[in-house]
Amino acid sequence: MNPIRVGLLGIGTVGGGTFEVLRRNQQEIRRRAGRGIEITAVCRRDQAAARAIVGDAARVVADPFDIVRDPSIDIVVELMGGTTLARELVLAAIGQGKHVVTANKALLAVHGTEIFAAAHDKGVVVAFEAAVAGGIPIIKSLREGLSANRIEWIAGIINGTTNFILSEMRDKGLDFDVVLKEAQRLGYAEADPTFDIEGVDAAHKVTIMSALAFGTPVQFGRAHIEGITRLQAADIRYAEQLGYRLKLLGITKRRDDLGGLELRVHPTLVPGKRLIANVEGAMNAVVVHGDAVGTTLHYGRGAGAEPTASAVIADLVDVTRLLTADPAHRVPHLAFRPDMLSDTPVLPIEDVVTAFYLRLQVADQAGVLARITGILAEHDISIDAVLQRESAEGEKQTDVIILTHDTVEGRMNEAIARMQALPTVLAPIVKIRKEELN
- Please, are residues 45 and 62 in contact by the beta-carbon 8 Å criterion? yes
Assess contact for 210 and 216: CB atoms under 8 A.
Answer: yes
- Is 205 labeled as catalytic in the residue annotation? yes
Q: Which of the residues 205, 247, 253, 434 is marked catalytic?
A: 205
Q: Where are the alpha helices (DSSP H) in 144-221?
A: 160-172, 176-186, 194-197, 200-214
- Residues 251 and 409: their CA atoms lie apart, in Å, by 15
CA distances from 369 to 379, 401, 402 (A): 16, 10, 10
Would you say 403 and 351 are in contact if contact means Cβ atoms under 8 Å apart? no
3-state SS of the chain: helix, strand, coil percent to 5? 40, 25, 35
- Strand locations in 202-307 (E): 224-225, 244-255, 260-271, 283-290, 294-301
Residue 314: name the closest of 107, 124, 43, 103 by CA. Answer: 103
Orientation of helix 305-322 relative to helix 13-24, angle to 10°: 60
Can you give the C-alpha Rg of the chain in angstroms? 24
Q: How many CB atoms lie within 10 A of CB 370?
A: 9
Contact status, residue 152 vs residue 369, Cβ threshold 8 Å: no
Active-site residue set? 205
